[in-house]
Amino acid sequence: QVQLVESGGGLVQAGGSLNLSCASSDRGFSIYSMGWFRQAPGQERSLVAAISSTGQYTYYETSVEGRFTISRENTKKLVHLQMNSLKNEDTAVYYCARGGLYRNYAAASFDSWGQGTQVTVSS
């Protein structure tokens, strides 16, 4: 059973920054892609950013491209999401998730989830 624990959420003013981190217990961490999802009240959970197992390839949802950066540290089994220029519409619970092998971060490949961390952006 893979355990993922997110941290770094909180309350921030619009235009500010937050850095989310996710610690994994997965012994196979370095061969799996990882992703960050978010879910706002009344909305479905959606993929925000993903990163391949080596960190060479990344994916960003259109609304966050240029503002968010996903990265990983395989030796420490950590994945990060640096969020800059935050907007009100970024308010959501953010979840870390394990994807498929190597570069596979298709939606259906994500099989393990953290408990989520709340990000609230105020005007």
pLDDT tens for 26-39 read: 999 999 999 999 99
**Residues 82, 71 contacting (CB under 8 angstroms):** yes
pLDDT digits (tens, 9 = 90+) for 33-90: 999 999 999 999 999 999 999 999 999 999 999 999 999 999 999 999 999 999 999 9
**Residues 9, 18 contacting (CB under 8 angstroms):** yes
Give Cα 20 to chain centroid, integer Å: 7
pLDDT at 116 over 90: yes
